């Protein structure tokens, strides 16, 4: 009973995925990001799929630290900064969560 696992909720990852998908969807609508050559497919399916996948996998490191795929326009720069800050917020959340769990959950001796 002392070693209960404390999982990160799937709702946290889904929330970050929705934020990533919304930012990518906005970028496609403003013509600063293109995944394929079909705009409707990019805007309403691929951007949301990429956002959700990015929240659950190590792609969040790429989103937070190395994603530079938007066009070099004022809208593209603004959306890229939002995407980077959302990714960094997720990384900070996971690090703080891990530290709190390690500090509060009894560990084996």
Q: What is the mean pLDDT of each run of 10 residues along the chain (109 residues)?
A: 65 91 93 88 91 87 88 93 93 90 80
pLDDT of residue 109: 67
What is the count of structural domains for the chain?
1
Q: Does a structural domain hold residue 1?
A: no
Residue 109 in any domain: the answer is no
Is 89 within the bounds of a domain?
Answer: yes
Q: What is the pLDDT of residue 12?
A: 87
Domain holding 16, by residue range, is 10-103
C-alpha 50, offset from chain centre: 9
Q: Would you say residue 108 lies in a domain?
A: no
| Residue 70 within any structural domain of the chain | yes
Asked if residue 45 belongs to a domain, the reply is: yes
Q: Is residue 4 part of a domain?
A: no
């Amino acid at each position: 009973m002392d070693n209960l696992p404390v999982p990160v909720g799937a709702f946290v990852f889904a929330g970050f995925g929705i934020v990533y998908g919304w930012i990518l969807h906005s970028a496609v609508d403003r013509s600063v990001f293109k995944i394929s050559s079909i705009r409707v497919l990019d805007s309403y399916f691929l951007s949301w799929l990429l956002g959700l996948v990015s929240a659950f996998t190590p792609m969040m490191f790429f989103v937070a630290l190395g994603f530079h795929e938007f066009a070099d326009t004022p809208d593209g720069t603004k959306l890229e900064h939002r995407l980077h800050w959302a990714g960094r917020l997720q990384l900070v959340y996971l690090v703080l969560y891990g530290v709190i769990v390690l500090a509060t959950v009894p560990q084996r001796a």
